[in-house]
Copies of this chain bind each other. A is one copy, B any other.
């Protein structure tokens, strides 16, 4: 017989907002720079301290993120905010260094087929690119951190299975090439809590706290279950999108990233401090939802409201039988 054994429950966790990058790049609506800044200010005011503000890719590829430099500059004015950007290559990294991002995330796809289709490089070519990015960073004297993000870590829409051994090999290779830390992402929503528990336990066994973040999608409803399974292995940083924006291009209408406000609520409910005010997040969600009319949004808390026995006496349901 089994008993749940959690020898150490981390008392706090970080929900990293990736809606401005992963969310906005996946939808048709282009949100203005002014509104992005409003979003970031409100998220900061709600207590969020890590925000992925954009991506340094050519503007013709992702016009939604063409203003990343300007958004980053504003984010850097907010006290205590760790502003990250996604960079696909050395060109992007040069811009991230130039504009002083706190963190640059270099995506790698553990699926060979997905890597070729999306990044036009093999996974090992991405590892080599990270080595060049590390050299650039060191030569510049910059303090910008480098995170290697291992995507399709639980399978892929193109090649199907992705071997755990390959995921772990590439994660280690990224660190060996000079990444300061790594993260694992279920890019297409294939993970289940048992596979998360297995892979994250192995990965932490290999690299410890240098495995710094988990990125889950809610495509098949398991986003929060996967977060919980990863949290049980000691992970304390999770990517999420406000209002669950993003979606999966392979499954129209399906959820994208884990929803920020739902995840913050779950963690706080579990007694894991996020430093974030869920009520303020719900208000921000409503504002952002107004900008995204016609887009499919996700999440449950905004609809159900906070429970009657939640600590803050706000947004309570009507107490009827």
Contact = CB atoms under 8 A, between A and B. Distances in A.
Contacts of A220: 262, 265-266, 300-301, 304, 307
B224 A308 contact: no
A3 B218 CA distance: 24
B300 A255 contact: yes
A160 interface: yes
B3 A321 contact: no
Contacts of A254: 300, 303-304
Interface stretch (A94-102, A171-179, A227-235): A227-235
Interface string A97-138: 000000000000000001001100000000000000000000
A1, A114, A265 — most chain B CB neighbours (10 Å)? A1
A8 B1 CA distance: 6
B304 A251 contact: yes
A9 B317 CA distance: 38
A312 to B, nearest CB: 13
A158 B309 CA distance: 9
A299 interface: yes
A166 interface: no
A250 B304 CA distance: 8
Nearest to A8: B2
Interface in A158-208: 158, 160-161, 188-190, 192-195, 197, 200-201, 204-205, 208
Nearest to A221: B300
A269 to B, nearest CB: 4
A7 interface: yes
Given A156-B309, A251-B303, 17 more contacts: A2-B10, A2-B234, A3-B204, A4-B197, A6-B197, A9-B194, A117-B321, A157-B307, A157-B308, A157-B320, A158-B308, A195-B270, A222-B224, A225-B227, A225-B228, A228-B228, A251-B305
16 contacts: A2-B9, A2-B10, A2-B232, A4-B229, A5-B7, A157-B307, A157-B319, A157-B320, A160-B309, A190-B308, A193-B270, A195-B269, A218-B300, A219-B304, A250-B318, A254-B304
